[in-house]
Amino acid sequence: MKGADLNNVIVYSSCGPIKGVWETSSLDYKYAAFYDIPYAKPPLGPLRFKDPEPLETWPNILDATESPPYTYESQVLDEDCLKLNVYSKNVENPCSPQPVMVFITGGFFIRSPSHKGIVGPDYLLQKDVILITFKYRCGALGFLSSDDPEIGIPGNAGLKDQVILLRWVQENIAAFGGDPHNVTIFGFSAGGCSIHYHMISPLSKGLFQKAIIMSASAFYVRGFMPKLGWAVRLARYLGWRGEDNEEALAFDFLRGVNIADIKDKEEEILTAQDRQNGLPSVYGPTLEAYRSRMTMIIEPPEEMMKNAWSYGIPLMIGGTLNEGLLFYGDAKNNPDVWENINQTPSTIVPYNLTQDPDKRKVFGDKMKLFYFGNDDATVADINTYIDLMGDTSYWYSVYRALMGRLKYQEVTIKAPTWLYHFSFNSPEWYKYRVAIPASGYPGVAHADDTLFLLSNYSGFGVPKRGTREYDMMQLMVRIYTSFATNGDPNNELLAKSIGKWTSVSASQPLICCNIDSTPEMLELPE
């Protein structure tokens, strides 16, 4: 319903009334925006590192009409971060509910930006869908853990934040004109990894009806992290002087440390030896040692996949042509990259493939031979390095998730799986080529597909009508919103070039939709 001010709108959630604001999109249509709505109790003080807790009600109208400034402080240092944004054109017509799209952002499990200034609704809301973006805890706050039940920090708080968010959607989205029985979760990189965990963890069962995994899965290089005493390491790095067996005291110390200090140092505890062992990071999903109120991961993902609850829901999965372009800057400017490949090729083996030193050496030697041949790798081989990093960091995880789903679906309820390969080349639009170290180097990098779904993500404004980029934005919006609406990405724009995008099966070659200016069906190149 509208408030007294015709520019505002009020809805009634399970926690209390919320006031939003009518906005005009960059594509000149109206939608209602609700900014920074809490979806769980603020994880402050004694709740730092803990599993999320349900939100309490509020008696007065919550003012959700203004988005906070897009700053490092608001996006990274605000510990009271469990908040969401809702964008809806249908808020005054709840009797005709619209499909809901929940975006889970990437960010290496270190950050989770949700600000309209980087993940805006203008493209997707051209169609009749509702978009939700949100922040969840990342880094140490979201992924430190302990095996001691007395400490009460089993781990994966960041993933559990997402579960609480999805429960909020089920309870409240109808008030915004959304259909709680038609929810699609989609996201790239760490977001894609998160989505795969929601598909295989019983904790998330029934909270969504469709999924789109972009460029990652639970087998992502940061998708299943070891426990190497990270809390004790971080506490010591920040000045604590306790012993290895005093983990509870380490957590007590960390609860009192300023958030800015934690964020400043949290990644520095990864040692050179850790990196030699193939570890790309400290933080990410991990095995929970005991069952708790919100158990998310109680066994490795390859075991969880055998009995996943989600084989009866549609899935779209894929990645970009040159995922590894993300690593161009390091390869171009850091000679250690090439020395490691030549002297210790085990460092290019994904950590989650194996931790056995002998096997890592065997795999590393084989991978170096496969990608670079018998000669030493040099910066002249940067194209090959981009392929290597794209395969090991992203496509490997997509492939394992896809093949596991097709395998285990054979003995359970089947739902279709659509495979995509995004290869649209834009020399001037992609930020990894224009604004980030790849600076002009050709290719379709990690997350470049996202630029055509979420306004402002590119940082270059809205593509102009009549350009290839504008047409690609319209095609991507049509693919994603068709899938969110019907569980099928086929639409009239695709039909003009490929006729019908067919789903994949275990008994056939992996045929994907190659998304380009002229889409085509082809066998997956990777």
- Which amino acids are annotated catalytic? 189, 323, 446
Residues 6+ apart with CB under 8 A from 474: 126, 493
Q: Which tokens sit at 457?
A: 């993500």
- Is residue 491 within 8 Å of 478, Cβ to Cβ? yes
- Is residue 192 within 8 Å of 215, Cβ to Cβ? yes
CA pair distance 183, 209, nearest whole angstrom: 5
Give ∠ CA 271-276-282 in degrees, rounded to 5.
45
CA pair distance 258, 77, nearest whole angstrom: 10
Residues 6+ apart with CB under 8 A from 107: 113, 138, 189, 190, 191
**DSSP of 419-464:** EEEE----TTT-HHHHTSTTTT--S--TTGGGGGTSBTSSSS-PPP
Four-point Cα dihedral 289, 294, 299, 303, nearest 10: 170
Q: Which tokens sit at 244?
A: 């290895």
Residue where the block lists tokens 């639970």: 218
Residues 6+ apart with CB under 8 A from 113: 75, 105, 107, 119, 135
Q: Is 254 exposed, middle or buried, given 0-12, 13-18 or 19+ CB atoms closer than 10 A?
A: buried
CA pair distance 204, 159, nearest whole angstrom: 10
CA pair distance 28, 33, nearest whole angstrom: 15
* Helix 357-372, helix 335-343: angle, nearest 10: 110
CA quadruple 396, 401, 402, 404: dihedral positive or negative?
A: positive
CA pair distance 60, 397, nearest whole angstrom: 46
Residues 6+ apart with CB under 8 A from 144: 49, 153, 155, 230, 231, 234, 251, 254, 283
Q: Which tokens sit at 418?
A: 């659509």
- Is residue 517 within 8 Å of 472, Cβ to Cβ? yes
Q: Which tokens sit at 181?
A: 């029985």
CA pair distance 147, 153, nearest whole angstrom: 8
